[in-house]
Structure 1
Amino acid sequence: MAEFLYCLNTSTIQPTPLLEKVRVAGAAGYKAIEPWNDEIDEYLAKGGSLSDLGKAISDAGLEVVSVIALHSWATTEGDEYVRALDECRRRIDQAVALGSPYIVASPPQEVVDLPHITARFVELLAIGEQAGVTPSMEFLGFVDGINSVSSAWAIAQGARNAKATIVADVFHMIRGGGSVDDLLKIPGHRLANFHINDVPATPDPLTQTDYDRVMVGDGIADLPRVIANLRTIGYRGPISFEIFNKELWTHDPFDVARRGLDRIKALVEA
């Protein structure tokens, strides 16, 4: 069994249609895929079905390790919160249909009260547990509130649930003002998924957007240290290649996916 599960996050090869992304991921040598609910909705709106999508994923030799993402669950109130949870349930049902063990719970843009968002995360966990999928707490380096490993981990710990996990990401650790050593703050079994990418030297990493991410190995992140830290904490889950580089979106999707996998394997298997 491989030490890590090589995964392609489908954002990496936009604007390729979802079924083609599945084919590319399998052909490039990945063993897992991480799709987004929005593109699943787009696929369904064009006449696709979840059963056909699941079959295509299986036929490509892939498994779904996570689906992205749940929104508006942390800060809405009243009827708006009821609608937000209904939408979360719909998205969770998609993850269930695709056999995914996790779905990402994205944080809000603004600063939020930690006990409040923790209580909301507990509610999400209960909804997920009933359905058979575990929401995993994400941090985003460019938001004002939950923008670090520590803040996401505080929510997961505060949930007092052994299944509560977080998602970590090279770009977001650096963009939030932290470092790749922040991984050492959490036990590996409480990390649901790890997103790998690289960060360019310019613009200032503390001002970058998602679209500034670059190909693994083309930036300034200490990626060998990232892999060493994942091993230190005992993480043995997916390593998901996730970038939003618009220039790379103009390249052949197979070439981008394959080059990324080759670079990740060179780090892991050196």
Structure 2
Amino acid sequence: MSPFRFSLNASTIRTTPLLDKIRVTAEAGYEGIELWFDEVEQYLAEGGKLETISQALKDGGLAVPTMIMLRDWWSATEEEYPRVFQTCLDRIKLASQLGAEYVIACPHRDKNPDYELGAKRYRELLEAGIEASAKPAVEFLGFVADVTTIEDALRIVEKSGHPAATLVLDPFHVFRGGGSMETIAQLKPEQIAISHFNDAVDTLPRETQMDPDRVLPGDGHLDLVHYCRLLKQIGYEGWLSLELFREDLWQQDPLQVAQVGLERMQIVAEHA
């Protein structure tokens, strides 16, 4: 039996309306759904109620492992930072209202990031998140300028000096950033907020691949069984969350996409 819990990242069925996403995720058999702030904020701006979203989650028996994402917190200038921090805080509070345990804090996207500044600002966000009951987790992205590996995200986590600091894993970003899965063995399970889950092809140059090039587990060349074994070896028993950004999948029946994705993840986890 797999030690992991399975979640669907809402990006995988992006074009499906928000409440339908929640219904589909529950019907497909997932335990959780990752929600995107932009979708929730648009729903509320168009007259929807937060209580309606909460009830849909409750009816589906779904947890919200994370909400996505906090932007610019690391790269903002000193003049911009108070405004950016307030925007992040507003999103943290929104996530808390929906019961999310974590919010994903995206990395610095330019060259030569200041890690001392990033760690200081992350700690500030984390302390605000702990107070609000939705903790920021540091993400690395394989296709940004410099913060592209597990080691880069771990550097912020460790420099923050906070025992509740966490990062986000993702096999596609490990591959795309040129890092190694083996670094997972250096992590403590409590340092991982969530692991996104997907595969990558070897028919395109690694350096050119972007979000839409991710594929369903089993449709690429990544050794996802080994990836899960590494997670198991360090004692991680948290979330694997299917995260894809494919227009071909968005055009298909969302329930079928969600069901196939869950089956693929379960097969990988069972073989780990």
TM-score bracket relative to the smaller structure: over 0.9
Take 2:69 and 2:222, find their aligned partners in 1: how far apart are those partners? 26
Aligned length, in residue pairs: 270
1:49 to 2:29 alignment: no
What per-residue deviation string (whole Å, max 9, x for no partner) do you get for residues 15-64 of structure 1? 00110000000000000010010011111122111121011011011111
- Secondary structure of residue in 2 paired with 1:140: coil
What per-residue deviation string (whole Å, max 9, x for no partner) do you get for residues 165-218 of structure 1? 000101100000012222122111110000000001121122200010011110
Take 2:5 and 2:47, find their aligned partners in 1: how far apart are those partners? 31
Take 1:145 and 1:129, find their aligned partners in 2: how far apart are those partners? 28
Which residue is equivalent to 2:129?
128
Which residue is equivalent to 1:8?
8
Which residue is equivalent to 1:68?
68
In the TM superposition, what are the counterparts of 1:160-171 in structure 2 within 5 Å? 160-171=161-172
1:155 to 2:156 alignment: yes
- Secondary structure of residue in 2 paired with 1:42: helix
Aligned amino acid, residue 102 of structure 2? Y
How big is the shift at 1:268?
1.4
Which residue is equivalent to 2:202?
201
Which residue is equivalent to 2:96?
96
What per-residue deviation string (whole Å, max 9, x for no partner) do you get for residues 137-157 of structure 1? 000000112111001001101
How big is the shift at 1:2?
6.1
How big is the shift at 1:78?
3.6
Take 1:247 and 1:179, find their aligned partners in 2: how far apart are those partners? 29
Of 194-203 and 123-132, more deviation after overlay is shown by: 123-132
Take 1:179 and 1:206, find their aligned partners in 2: how far apart are those partners? 15
Which residue is equivalent to 1:238?
239
Which residue is equivalent to 1:179?
180
Take 2:95 and 2:234, find their aligned partners in 1: how far apart are those partners? 27
Which residue is equivalent to 1:210?
211
- Secondary structure of residue in 2 paired with 1:64: coil
How big is the shift at 1:269?
2.1
Which residue is equivalent to 1:39?
39
* TM-score of the pair, normalised by structure 2: 0.96
Which residue is equivalent to 1:17?
17
Take 1:126 and 1:61, find their aligned partners in 2: how far apart are those partners? 29
* TM-score of the pair, normalised by structure 1: 0.97
What per-residue deviation string (whole Å, max 9, x for no partner) do you get for residues 240-264 of structure 1? 0001111111111111100000011
Take 2:179 and 2:79, find their aligned partners in 1: how far apart are those partners? 37
Take 2:249 and 2:68, find their aligned partners in 1: how far apart are those partners? 21
Runs of 4+ in 1 over 6 A off after TM superposition: none
Aligned amino acid, residue 195 of structure 1? H
How big is the shift at 1:77?
2.3
What per-residue deviation string (whole Å, max 9, x for no partner) do you get for residues 50-90 of structure 1? 12101101101111111001001112124421110111011
How big is the shift at 1:116?
1.3
Aligned amino acid, residue 65 of structure 1? P
1:264 to 2:265 alignment: yes
- Secondary structure of residue in 1 paired with 2:250: helix
Segments of structure 2 that go 5 or more residues without pairing to the other structure are none
Maintained 8 Å contact 1:180/1:222: no
